[in-house]
Structure 1
Amino acid sequence: MDFSLLLVLAVVISGVVYFIDVIWLRPKRRERLAKAEEAAAGNLDAPTQEKLLKEPWPVDYARSFFPVLLVVLVVRSFIVEPFQIPSGSMRPTLEVGDFILVNKFAYGLRLPVVHNRILEVGEPERGDVMVFRFPDEPSVNFIKRVVGLPGDRIRYEDKQLYVNGDLVTKTLLEEGPDASPQELLLEEQLGSVRHTIYNNPRDPGPQMREVEVPEGHYFMMGDNRDHSNDSRYWGFVPEENIVGRAFAVWMHWDGGLPSFNTVRRIE
């Protein structure tokens, strides 16, 4: 189900009904009231007046919901949109059940539904955590970290990431952390961004020869390097599939009571 499409349709339908009432139906009701008052010589009782001015139920609903739906559409399409993390591919940065906020104008303003960029504001940078529509199934949103920019050369061998021939440095923080005993917790320096990743020393993981990122595309990887379905498997993300930059976790919910103890910025 495309929620953006449903929201746009709801705004359009409620808006059309509301403006038809303002332009045509409301004046007709007032005209009928004026004629009734003239016929009653100014002695028209209040219940009759109310009945003549009463809005049809579609108009009543449209008048109530149109402003709310319009605000929701504008905020969700152009400012910020909430998402929930459904998988562990971005651990330890993001956990399953984290609710995140995505900046919708960081990479330019886009029209809802058609996703055309109408205003250029910025471009993805190496190290950003980005939400995008999965190239093979655009109705599904993915979240990964930007590793390769257009024109970059990317290679991944023996759990080592190379960007333009340079090894991306990482430092061991902990072996077998409590949150994931089978993993190594490492800190990686990707561009100007310092963040944590997981590597599994018992899993050889994928090997990828050097590839060049095409113009207008991005190479994405999950921070849970050995458990992430990302560009190493299915290729590059085209610019038109970008949704926005994830910048904050505002709640965590794993089926019990919601928790706000993990509210934080996303690095």
Structure 2
Amino acid sequence: MQKKKIQRRKQILRDTILTAVITLLMTVVIGSFFFKVITVQGFGMIPTLRNGDILLVQKNNEFQRFDLAVFVNEKNKTQVRRIIGLPGEKIAYKEDILYVNDQPIDEKFIVDEVNESQRNGKNFTEDFTSEDLTSTKIIPDGYYLVLGDNRSYATDSRVYGLISLENMIGKIYS
């Protein structure tokens, strides 16, 4: 009787461990198809993200304005930047106001930084248009205009141009 109890407990323990191992392996394998973990490198997304922040990236190819997108840049480095312009849109910045198809759009995530910059007599985001960056007024299909939240120091579409959908990895999972 005592021997059967011990054998039963061992079997339960083995089954529990086996279930845990299988669950862990499935989570890792399935998760690698849908998610990626990255570490923020640099200061281009301050104040939203800081150097060294660890982020979970949801792999997908559907993006909306102001999503935090993760992509591979022209130097084959993974970067995080905010999507500002979508395919088919005309983008312009004028006196720190974002215009999408000639309509002003609020950027609530950088209000404090814009106000501080203007108090110091400077624009937070230098004036430009999508045409200045790409020599075409409208962002082509399959491309996105991205900017860092730390506009003065970020390397983004103003430097390396539009980001193709092919170079997009996904967006920050929240």
Whole-angstrom distance in 1 between the partners of 2:156 and 2:77 = 14
Q: Matched residue of 2:166: which SS?
A: helix
* Partner of residue 68 from structure 2, selected from 121, 129, 134: 129
Residue 19 of structure 2: aligned partner: none
* Partner of residue 144 from structure 1, selected from 69, 78, 81: 81
User: Offset of 1:221 from its aligned partner?
Assistant: 1.1
- Contact preservation (8 Å) 1:156, 1:210: no
- TM-score normalised to structure 2 length: 0.70
User: Offset of 1:226 from its aligned partner?
Assistant: 2.3
Residue 208 of structure 1: aligned partner: 128
Residue 146 of structure 2: aligned partner: 220
**Structure 2 gap ranges (5+):** 1-23, 132-137
Instruction: Say whether residues 1:230 and 2:150 are aligned partners.
Output: no
Whole-angstrom distance in 1 between the partners of 2:48 and 2:97 = 19
User: Offset of 1:209 from its aligned partner?
Assistant: 2.8
Q: Which amino acid aligns with 2:171?
A: R
Whole-angstrom distance in 2 between the partners of 1:160 and 1:71 = 44
Structure with the larger helix share: 2
Change (3 A) 1:73 1:206: farther
Whole-angstrom distance in 1 between the partners of 2:98 and 2:152 = 13
Q: Matched residue of 2:31: which SS?
A: helix
Instruction: Say whether residues 1:98 and 2:53 are aligned partners.
Output: yes
Whole-angstrom distance in 2 between the partners of 1:154 and 1:163 = 5
Residue 6 of structure 2: aligned partner: none
Residue 62 of structure 1: aligned partner: none
Residue 51 of structure 1: aligned partner: none
Instruction: Say whether residues 1:82 and 2:21 are aligned partners.
Output: no
Residue 159 of structure 1: aligned partner: 96
- TM-score normalised to structure 1 length: 0.47
Give the fraction of aligned pairs with identical amino acids, expressed as a percent: 30
